[in-house]
Structure 1
Amino acid sequence: MARRGKNSVKPLWIGIALALVVVAFLGSRFFSSSGSDPYRTIQTLDSKAYLDNANSLRGNVYKVEGEIVNSLALSPAEGRLFSVTVDSGDYVLPVLVTKDFNEVNIQKGQKFIFLLEVDDKGILRTKKLTKA
């Protein structure tokens, strides 16, 4: 009776499999870290243009990244009004966080990325928000 040779895994195939696992891991880390801004396709609000004439921006949606400075007002019907520093502290904007976000704990010093709509009166209303 003839003897059959052992079918063993060749070291070359082990090396290729290991290389594919490493490449897949590094690729997943690259793509997951590059998506830190959930609103990266939305235009950033020009703070100076908003403060000069908010009426020209009515009806548009923008993103703003800023730090909460103070809580200015609270209305159960409308929401909470905050002052937010943007553009490295150069400007302070009033942001109305609508009652849809009452469950979000917003405190002084926290940084957020806001998706804002400039309403008919020129008020910045929050459509979405994410902690930065």
Structure 2
Amino acid sequence: MPRRSRHSSGANTNQILGLVGGLLFILLVGAVVAFLLLGDGGSPRRSVRAAAATEFSLRDYLDNANSLRGNTYRVDGTVEEQLRWTRDRGRLISLHVDGTSEGSPVPILVPQDFSHVSIEKNTDLTFVAEVGDNGLLVARDVRPK
């Protein structure tokens, strides 16, 4: 009669190592997918990029900004001035939108998340901005042009 190993009823070392390796692989794949979906480490709401956003229409915005609430647009323009800054909310800037003859600057709230971005007068920037509940544009992404 063949001999039985004393440890035959439990999991052997190779099985345990295989399970641990499989779990590590799954975690690694999950981390890569999360990085790709979130871009450069931003939050999911900032994952909208300028190439995917709809072109901003200044005429529609000036006619009725409230009808655009909740929509996200790409806004290209030149910073006219910083209107206000608060530590908890960020900067409110005045932007001259590219390709428009209207003299009306557009206010954009740039949250504190973008404090690392240099936003100076006469700087050309591309924003991905969402029209907030009050009709104010709120930056979700900011990049130099």
TM-score (norm 2): 0.62
Runs of 5+ consecutive residues of structure 1 not aligned to the other structure: 1-37
Say whether the 8 Å CA contact 2:80–2:121 is kept in structure 1.
yes
Counting only pairs closer than 5 Å after superposition, residues 1-132 of structure 1 correspond to structure 2 as 39-88=50-99, 90-91=101-102, 92-132=105-145
RMSD of the alignment, in Å?
1.3
Write the letter of the residue equivalent to 1:103: H
TM-score (norm 1): 0.68
- 1:77 Cα deviation from its structure 2 partner: 1.5
Task: Write out the 4+ residue segments of structure 1 that deviate beyond 6 Å after TM superposition.
Answer: none
Secondary structure of the 1:53 match is helix
- 1:89 Cα deviation from its structure 2 partner: 5.1
Runs of 5+ consecutive residues of structure 2 not aligned to the other structure: 1-48
Say whether the 8 Å CA contact 2:109–2:139 is kept in structure 1.
yes
After superposition, give the CA deviation of every residue in 1:70-123 in whole Å (9 maximum; x if it has no partner).
111111121101110013352411011111101111100110000000011111
Q: Identical aligned pairs, as a percentage? A: 37
Question: Partners of 1:64 and 1:127 in 2: how far apart?
Answer: 11
